[in-house]
């Protein structure tokens, strides 16, 4: 199938019966405290808009992470006649996971499997968990919903992987699509979303897909952070997964220099997303540091999509804080300092080969952050390859990462050893 046709109708597929696990337990804390549980409230108390019934979690959730709660046909408005069903089987899925504190939550996502037989005789089709880059904070921004509406930019980065024949699984992250605030940049929550998406994909009943399929992890920007964190946590959280490698681009491994870089820029919204995510994940009251203007701005940011980025473009966050300092400076004071330190990636050794890509001219995540991540992993003896690109922006670096990752995965799934360049770091 041609790439142009894929772009015209990229998420389609056979209708499926509802699957609900019998091993269900109530959520372990007040729903208002846990995004991704029934009735969860937002950080700022702003009421969320109505969401499709599929995205409403049941009151009792399966205790085992990665358990499929429900699934449905992954339709899109661009393919009303479901012509793409001939080439792909795609399904939206709700599955169980854990937040950073170990509470059981419900996450959603999309899984797409080509109908053509896998091209390598005697081998199983690889599953690539493609962690999306920044989508925003509103439930309407969830990647699986954007695919349904045919307004999801991630298709540009994953279409060649689909055309190659890989199964692709895309998680929505905690609180993105489901009730409650999105825990943007919370390391454990994002890692769990990725790893449990791989588990859920294996349990959806696709032909030729089960728990024994090889797995690859791929992501850029927020997705790069999620994949990098997943690579670190996989040995302890999901040791049964046969992960062959993780490709992580423009990883926001250290949020302090990222916040400094984007202050007052086109990407100021990302600082607001980070504040919402970290304050939610670590139970930090925004009233302690934000003035009335700041609280109102945070309320507005609770339902904001990344493609609306100009809304907060050029925002000077010093106007939002009680001390008159930019919001990112709170990352150096308690309680945010501990949250930032806990969210830093690079303190644990990945057990699988990792590809780190970064653009020298990245205008969102400084190149030095990505290089330091590679150095931190190398110092622990990890199998790392750092690829430096000459792109002049964060956006264009995403396309370069997609090309590099596709070729890199060919080697990992073929079982060849990657050429680490850690001695050059």
Which one of 312, 342, 372 terminates a domain? 342
Whole-number Å distance between alpha carbons of 221 and 80 = 32
**CATH code of the domain containing 237:** 3.40.50.1820
Q: What angle do CA 22, 27, 29 make, to 5 degrees?
A: 165
Q: What is the extent of the structural domain holding 401?
A: 3-253+349-424
Strands (E), 27-157: 60-62, 68-73, 88-98, 104-114, 127-131
Which one of 324, 342, 360 terminates a domain? 342
Q: Are 261 and 248 members of one domain?
A: no
**CATH code of the domain containing 282:** 1.10.260.130
Model pTM score = 0.91
What would the pLDDT profile of 49-105 be if each residue is shown by its tens digit?
A: 999 999 999 999 999 999 999 999 987 755 555 657 768 899 999 999 999 999 999
What would the pLDDT profile of 141-153 be if each residue is shown by its tens digit?
A: 999 998 877 666 7
Q: Are 124 and 212 members of one domain?
A: yes
Q: Are 318 and 353 members of one domain?
A: no
How many structural domains compose the chain?
Answer: 2
Query: What pLDDT is recorded for position 74?
Result: 84
Strands (E), 35-153: 60-62, 68-73, 88-98, 104-114, 127-131
Does the pLDDT of residue 392 top 80, yes or no? yes
Query: What pLDDT is recorded for position 229?
Result: 98
Q: Are 94 and 241 members of one domain?
A: yes
Query: What pLDDT is recorded for position 261?
Result: 97
Q: Are 204 and 308 members of one domain?
A: no
Q: Are 188 and 41 members of one domain?
A: yes
Q: Are 303 and 155 members of one domain?
A: no
pLDDT band at 132 (very low <50, low <70, confident <90, very high): very high
Q: Are 151 and 277 members of one domain?
A: no
Q: How many CB atoms are located within 10 Å of the residue 21 CB?
A: 18
Q: Are 234 and 290 members of one domain?
A: no
Element (H, E) at 355: strand 354-359
Does the pLDDT of residue 121 top 90, yes or no? no
Q: DSSP secondary-structure letter at 198?
A: H
Whole-number Å distance between alpha carbons of 401 and 355 = 10
Q: Are 267 and 377 members of one domain?
A: no
Torsion of CA 321, 188, 363, 216, to 10 degrees: -160
CB 223 within 8 A of CB 184: no
Q: Are 158 and 129 members of one domain?
A: yes
Measured CA distances, 133 to 8, 161, 242, 406 (Å): 21, 16, 24, 17
CA nearest 222: which of 246, 247, 190? 190
Q: DSSP secondary-structure letter at 62?
A: E
Whole-number Å distance between alpha carbons of 408 and 418 = 8
CA nearest 424: which of 368, 374, 361? 374
Given CA atoms 232, 238, 243, 249 in this order, what sign does their dihedral have?
negative
pLDDT band at 315 (very low <50, low <70, confident <90, very high): very high
Q: Are 92 and 232 members of one domain?
A: yes
Q: DSSP secondary-structure letter at 44?
A: T
Non-local CB neighbours of 341 within 8 Å, separated by 6+ positions: none
Which one of 304, 320, 342 terminates a domain? 342
pLDDT band at 12 (very low <50, low <70, confident <90, very high): very low
């Amino acid at each position: 199938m041609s790439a142009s046709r894929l772009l015209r109708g990229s998420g389609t597929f056979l209708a499926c019966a509802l699957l609900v696990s019998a091993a269900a337990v109530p959520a372990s804390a007040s729903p208002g405290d846990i995004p991704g549980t029934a009735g969860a409230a937002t950080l700022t108390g702003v009421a969320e808009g109505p969401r499709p019934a599929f995205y409403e979690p049941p009151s009792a959730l399966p205790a085992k992470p990665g358990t499929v709660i429900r699934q449905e046909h992954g339709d899109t408005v661009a393919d009303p006649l479901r012509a793409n069903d001939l080439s792909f089987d795609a399904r939206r899925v709700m599955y169980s996971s854990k937040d950073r504190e170990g509470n059981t939550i419900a996450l959603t996502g999309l899984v797409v499997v080509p109908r053509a037989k896998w091209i390598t005789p005697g081998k199983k089709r690889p599953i690539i968990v493609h962690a999306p880059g920044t989508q925003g904070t509103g439930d309407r921004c969830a990647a699986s919903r954007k695919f349904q509406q045919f307004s999801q930019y991630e298709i540009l980065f994953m279409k060649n992987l689909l055309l190659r024949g890989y199964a692709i699984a895309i998680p929505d992250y905690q609180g993105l699509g489901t009730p409650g605030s999105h825990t943007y940049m919370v390391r454990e929550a994002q890692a769990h979303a990725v790893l449990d998406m791989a588990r859920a994909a294996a349990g959806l009943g696709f032909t030729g897909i089960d728990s024994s399929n090889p797995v690859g992890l791929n992501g850029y920007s927020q997705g790069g952070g999620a994949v990098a964190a997943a690579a670190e946590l996989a040995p302890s959280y999901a040791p049964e997964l046969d992960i062959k490698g993780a490709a992580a681009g423009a990883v926001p491994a250290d949020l302090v220099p990222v916040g400094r870089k984007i202050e007052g820029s086109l990407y100021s919204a990302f600082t607001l997303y980070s504040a919402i995510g970290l304050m939610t994940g670590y139970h930090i009251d925004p009233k302690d540091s934000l003035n009335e203007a700041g609280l109102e701005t945070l309320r507005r940011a609770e339902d904001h999509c990344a493609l609306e980025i100009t809304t907060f473009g050029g925002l000077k966050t010093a106007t939002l804080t009680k001390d008159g300092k930019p919001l990112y400076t709170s990352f150096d004071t308690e309680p945010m300092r501990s949250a930032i330190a806990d969210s830093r990636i690079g303190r644990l050794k990945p057990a699988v080969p990792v590809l780190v890509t970064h653009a020298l001219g990245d205008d969102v995540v400084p190149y030095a952050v990505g290089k330091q991540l590679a150095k931190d992993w190398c110092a622990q003896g990890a199998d790392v390859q750092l690829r430096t690109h000459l792109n002049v922006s964060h956006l264009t670096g995403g396309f370069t990462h997609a090309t590099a990752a596709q070729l890199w995965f060919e080697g990992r799934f073929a079982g060849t050893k990657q050429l680490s360049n850690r001695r050059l770091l």
